[in-house]
Amino acid sequence: MFDLPLIVFATLVVSAAVQAWLTFWFIAALLRFRRPLPSDERCPKAAIVLCLRGCDPFLENCLAALLRQDYPDYRLHIVIDRADDPARMAVDQAIEQWGTDRLDVQFLTERRETCSLKCSSLVQAVRGLDEAVEVVALVDADSAPHASWLRELVAPLASEQVGAATGNRWYMPQRAGWGALFRYLWNAAAIVQMYWYRIAWGGTLAVKTRVIRDLNLLDRWGHALCEDTMLLSELGRAGLRVEFVPSLIMVNREDCELIACLRWISRQLLVARLYHPGWPLVAWHGILTTLLLGAALGGAVVAVALGDAVGAAWLGGALLVYQAAMILLLSPMEWAVRRIVRARGESTDWMGGKALRVLLALPLTQVMYPVALAMAMTARRTIWRKVVYEIGRGREIRRLNDPPYAEGVKDAEREHSL
């Protein structure tokens, strides 16, 4: 009974050490978030595309922020799912307040059955852009970009080797329920993998229009579930890379129910399975970690039942060391992100009095994550904002229904597009 507990202990310690090393370099990248911004003369003509289905809680803030960008030559192109979509009221209010000098609004008319409605909206918007537009910037409705957001996003595109630039998300929920904490902890681990695997995030993403044209990305998006995760492979074919912009860690302050969060995470993993070459590593990491933690916990229980104090000590110690390492890694990540967010003048005071709940949510996350992973590995269908999509052979996407997005949908059913 002694050898196996020792092996489990050593393996978990090595796993924690590897994760610590990867996290350290990610934090180092966050600490170098201040970069020179391009002057007005070096800012290419840009189009921001915002696809809306449903009225997100912070949509009004998002619209106001996008219309106040410190950028010389850009327009905001909004594609609303339907004329009666709940998001229309917020857009109409933005037009009333800010006018249409920088704003174009259209409704989704090209409702393709071979891709997600978001991809349909994106293809429709980009195809209608002026030929002089050099950069297409994508944003999601759950964040309020700061004034220099667009300038920071296009800055890396000055390099000929960069085809796309991306930020990422971080959660600071106003009400930290169990679902929100599950999402916060899962994302804290996922963001490190996204950094190392160069996974783009469509919530803050800029792509050169000539790259979209040369790589025929509109056709690819017209047959896809999402637009961002595939970019590493697509750009790689042209010898281009996706550049991560540390200053563009965007804060999401929404709450989320536990079941909705589970479905959302499984969909994030599903798109990695469909479009990213690093998916096998993501999957095997999740499987191995789950097996090791399960072996340590189960083995410790058996060792106690058999009166094997040494075995119980090794296995219990393995669990304690691993959990302590995860908590210790989270603290500097949170600090580094807060440093970026505070530099923009945004609030970072969200965890006060919730630290204990965060600690208790860690084992919950470690139990729920393998469930989400199993759902993603076996999924043949997925639901995104009430729309059902079927995944066929060769990653073929087929939309099975087209319901309107009803106002007042419960948070547990809404499944935010994050």
Report H helices in 73-177: 87-98, 117-127, 149-154
One-character DSSP codes across 53-79? SS--TTHHHHHHHHTT-S-SSEEEEEE
CB 35 within 8 A of CB 155: yes
Residues 6+ apart with CB under 8 A from 103: 67, 75, 76, 78, 94, 95
CB 111 within 8 A of CB 179: no
Q: Kindly state the percentage of the chain with pLDDT values over 70.
A: 97
What does the radius of gyration of the chain's CA atoms come to, in whole angstroms?
A: 22
Mean pLDDT confidence for 24-40: 95
CA 165/CA 206 separation, integer angstroms: 5
pLDDT at 265: 97
In the three-class reduction of DSSP (H, G, I as helix; E, B as strand; rest coil), residue 167 is classed as: strand
Terminus-to-terminus CA distance in the chain, angstroms? 46
What are the tokens at 34? 């201040």
pLDDT at 52 over 90: yes
pLDDT digits (tens, 9 = 90+) for 259-285: 999 999 999 999 999 999 999 999 999
Return the axis-axis angle of helices 258-275 and 279-305, rounded to nearest 10°.
130
CA 32/CA 28 separation, integer angstroms: 7
Considering Cα of 287, then 290, then 296, then 297, what sign does the dihedral take? Answer: negative
CB 5 within 8 A of CB 315: yes
pLDDT digits (tens, 9 = 90+) for 189-219: 999 999 999 999 999 999 999 999 999 999 9
CA 313/CA 280 separation, integer angstroms: 33
Amino acid occupying residue 390: E
Indicate the Cα dihedral angle 40, 42, 45, 48, nearest 10°: -80
Range from 25-34, 170-179, 235-244, 406-415 carrying the lowest mean pLDDT: 406-415
pLDDT at 3: 82
Delineate the domains of the chain, giving CATH numbers in brackets.
Answer: 1-418 (3.90.550.10)
CA 265/CA 416 separation, integer angstroms: 11
pLDDT at 322 over 50: yes
pLDDT at 377: 96
pLDDT at 243 over 70: yes
Mean pLDDT confidence for 169-194: 94
pLDDT digits (tens, 9 = 90+) for 121-131: 999 999 999 99
What are the tokens at 365? 């996350």
- State the CB neighbour count (10 A cutoff) for residue 393: 5
Angle at 30 between CA 26 and CA 31, to 5 degrees: 115
Q: Read off the pLDDT band of 407 (50, 70, 90).
A: low
pLDDT at 147 over 70: yes
pLDDT at 319 over 60: yes
More confident residue, 6 or 397: 397
Phi, psi of 206 (to 5 degrees): -125, 135
Cα 207 to the chain's mean position, in Å?
A: 17
pLDDT at 347 over 70: yes
pTM as predicted: 0.93
Tokens 């999924």 sit at which residue? 379
CA 225/CA 395 separation, integer angstroms: 9
pLDDT at 1 over 80: no
More confident residue, 4 or 32: 32
Mean pLDDT score of the chain:
93
Specify which residues 241 forms β-bridges with: 162
Q: Read off the pLDDT band of 413 (50, 70, 90).
A: very low
pLDDT at 176: 80
pLDDT at 15: 93
Q: Read off the pLDDT band of 24 (50, 70, 90).
A: very high
pLDDT at 90 over 70: yes
Residues 6+ apart with CB under 8 A from 156: 162, 165, 243, 245
Please list the helix, strand and coil fractions of the chain in percent, rounded to the nearest 5, in that order: 55, 15, 30
Q: How many helices (H) and strands (E) does the chain have?
A: 14, 10
Of 373, 290, 362, 360, give the one whose Cα is nearest residue 330. Answer: 362
pLDDT at 418: 40
